[in-house]
Amino acid sequence: MKVEFTIARRLFGHRDDTRRISRPAVVIAMWGVAVGLAVMILSVSIILGFKGEIREKVIGFGGHVEVINYQSLYSAEPQPVVVDGLLLHRLSRIPGVAHAQRFMMKTGMLKTNEAFKGISLRGVAEEYDTTFLSRHIIEGHLPRFQQDTTYNEIAISQLIANELGLHCDDRVFAYFFSEQVKARRYHVVGIYQTHLREFDNTWVFTDLYTTQHLAGWESDQCTGAELTVNDFDRLDEVTAEVASVMNRTQDHYSATYSTHNIRELYPGIFSWLSLLDTNVYVILALMIGLSLFTMTAGLLIIILERTNFIAVMKSLGATNSQLRHIFLHFAALLVGRGLLIGNILGVGLTLLQKYTGLVHLDPATYYVDVVPMQISWPLILLLNVATLIITVLVLILPSFLVSRIEPARVMRFE
């Protein structure tokens, strides 16, 4: 095997200007592999980045797992359930849970002199993880989420601000409807923008104490607790663990707990994200097909042009198997160079977009304003190995062409 590889390497490194046909074929085959791999790397990076960005935004609004009142599933308005410090501590100790926090939802309406807008007022407490929301604040700051104190501060989305003509430091009236109409005057202290219209269109953030008083609930009651997990790939496992602890148990007001994860709460968004994987599979199949086509054509041309070499090697005692190995090693070296160029192109363009954001998108359609990129080195390595193995295996069939070349006939024509 070492002899075949050495000969293949000498052939691969040989530069013969008389090979006017095989040289373009080699270049085309090599660039076919390079372009195919670069497109695969870009496709995988874009899809991973896009899915990660959308998933992060959805989770930023609602966490990974929610523990709520079972009756909330069948009611237009969320129903109260007890979530106190003891329960938060208990939930946070479940294996796989990274953080637990309270939240509360209350529907209402914001009204200015010119327009009005239906909203979902989301109250959060002092343990709320502000990382996501802080990153998307484009004007002003977050409301103060302090316990047992209300400042009547709210953060609204840029979409709501545009519809109502509001700006930071403006004051706006809000109306809430239950048994009677309740009016409150709020101070707009922050404006956020995530481009996720399903949430930006209605969600307004304030403190938990304010929403509890609006609903007339007790200080230990809220809509529920939301949990974040350490590993999203273990979401179903952690959800089952939380459900085993909380489901069918009751608080001291006889409210029954129920557990649901983010996929169950927003099935449409996650089903849509799953469909994106189909696009990746199609692109991967097309690009591998391109590599196979160019490499097969290139190898056939190389074999046919080197009939003299094959005839001489057979005259010296080389077997068909040895000659096939020589050309397969030649093809592997060619694919290897193509993979090197493809990695440079694919990873280079991915990093360029990741750190510069050169290519922009319409956020109203794609939920992001630039093409998101996420590099996965294990997947890139897998793409390289799979392309090399599949290409070389498929080239075994055309390599049998060397067995059809007879030294006597070649010598006679020469």
30 vs 36: CA distance, rounded Å = 10
pLDDT reading at 411 higher than 90:
no
Mind listing the pLDDT tens digit for each residue in 19-37? 454 577 778 888 888 888 8
| 269 φ/ψ angles, rounded to the nearest 5 degrees | -65, -45
368 vs 370: CA distance, rounded Å = 6
pLDDT reading at 402 higher than 80:
no
pLDDT reading at 383 higher than 80:
yes
Q: How confident is the model at residue 250 (pLDDT cuts 50, 70, 90)?
A: very high
* Residue with more model confidence, 177 or 317: 177
DSSP-based helix, strand, coil % in the chain, nearest 5:
55, 20, 25
Q: What is the pLDDT of residue 18?
A: 43
* Residue with more model confidence, 276 or 370: 370
Q: How confident is the model at residue 413 (pLDDT cuts 50, 70, 90)?
A: very low
pTM of the model: 0.78
Mind listing the pLDDT tens digit for each residue in 182-218? 899 999 999 999 988 889 999 999 999 989 988 889 9
Biggest CA pair distance of the chain: 105
105 vs 97: CA distance, rounded Å = 23
198 vs 196: CA distance, rounded Å = 6
SS3 at position 224: strand
Q: What is the pLDDT of residue 408?
A: 52
Sequence spans of domains, the chain: 2-57+269-413, 80-254
Mind listing the pLDDT tens digit for each residue in 155-192? 999 999 999 999 999 999 999 987 788 899 999 999 99
1 vs 3: CA distance, rounded Å = 5
* Residue with more model confidence, 147 or 336: 336
